[in-house]
Amino acid sequence: MSFQLLRHDISFIIRAIEHLNLIITKLIIKRIYSMLKTLLLLLVLISSSVVNAQTDSTKSESSPLKKNSLYISLGVATEFYYDGIVTYERLFWQSKKATHIAIGGQIGYGYYAVWGIGGSVINANLLLLTGAGNHHLEVTGGMNFYLSGDMEGYNPYKLSTTVGYRLQKPSGGILLRVGSGWPRIAYVGLGYNF
């Protein structure tokens, strides 16, 4: 009799855990969906200002961008994954048209945390910048290399991509980045262009 009671209690606990897991998964999906909607709205608002800025022809639109940037960016994928990376960026090529297209590379070093346990990471990306004046669309793609911590070895997030907005003057100075990607769902960055 006590064996069946124990078996019943165990099956009840398993069902409760499965139900709790389903609730947590739904909450995470809702939170990610909400963050993506907010980010999409932000990108739409920013892109409309970029389109308006591109219709004005000013001297700064024909100026090439400074080639070097150094910035720190903070990213979040869910409430379980965070990272902070210091990145050096170099532009290799730029078009000479009023609406710039620039190609470059990025190399970064930083720290990440998954469920509070983390380690160090190197991030290497190719970069595409478009836009004119101070407003730019940035698209990157590359790899994350986890050097230590719980992602070392087992590594589902090797691919690294971003799509975002960058506020950067062609003459250099402070730059601001905001966007979305993988493994980061959202990121923000602040740095200096020289």
Q: pLDDT tier at 103 (50, 70, 90 boundaries)? A: very high
In order of their start, the domains of the chain are 52-193 (2.40.160.20)
Name 164's Cβ contacts closer than 8 Å, sequence gap at least 6.
43, 137, 138, 177, 178, 179, 180, 181, 187
Q: Is the pTM higher than 0.85?
A: no
- Could you give the count of Cα atoms lying within 13 Å of 167 in the half-sphere of its Cβ? 9
pLDDT tens-digit map of 132-175: 889 999 999 999 888 888 777 665 558 889 999 999 999 999 99
Q: Percentage of the chain surpassing pLDDT 70? A: 73
User: Residue 26: what are its φ and ψ, rounded to 5°?
Assistant: -65, -40
84 within 8 A of 110, measured Cβ to Cβ: yes
